[in-house]
Structure 1
Amino acid sequence: MAKIKQGDEGPVQFKHRMEGLTTRVQGHQHAFGNLTDLFIPDDGRHRHNFRGITTTADGHRHSYSGQTGLNIGNGPNHFHRFSIQTNVADGHRHIITGRTTGIIRLSGMLGHKLIIEKVVRERVKK
């Protein structure tokens, strides 16, 4: 996340979107999608941290976190490549690989949405 300038609505931030499908393991794969996080300068270039949780498939999901490669290109159309393994869930892990989008400009407060996949109501015995 690069903070560029302060405006009336707070700092302007630049992030990248990451999305796609994991590798297929044990007959299934998961979708993933997130925005990059921390902006990390690196000898005149930069990279980003990222983290997320895959969609549920085959009764489970995986968390993941990592760091993108260095920026490829400059300016608003630059992007990053990434390749990591998810955390182990249900006895296995998947590989997440791809490239980010160009930069996305965010200004002001950024809220996080909670995704509820399933709600189960149970009666509690007293």
Structure 2
Amino acid sequence: MPACTHPNKERTSMPISSTDEEWDELVPENFDTTALLRAVDAVDVLREDLNDREGGGPPQLRTDLLLLHQLAMAVFNDGSRSQVAGLFEFAVDLEDQVLGLMTSLEQVQETLSKLTALYPESLSYEDGDVSES
């Protein structure tokens, strides 16, 4: 498969077309294009948790992981028994948040996998020596 190129980027090589057989596979029954819109929605969920905050501050998840590190140091390195419950409650909350992010990423990945599974083999020829259909 070729490297990722933006569809609006000017191409310098001769365009390669798919075969008739490959073209016949590119039908709505084989790929629901609205799945790409759902992937955009999934990315928006990620943005909520991973975007920088107002004023250029780092994402809250980063700040929370650093706070979790402080709690873990207090418990594991300094023997602070009073912070054990807080450490593990916070860790569970962050784990749930990260699992939600992973679910969103998996949705994007599954959508892209369904689309790339339909990649016409004839488009992967780099030499352009493919007969026109």
- TM surpasses 0.5: no
TM-score by length of 2: 0.19
More strand by share: 1
Which structure would you say has the larger RCO, counting Cα contacts within 8 Å and 6 or more residues apart? 2
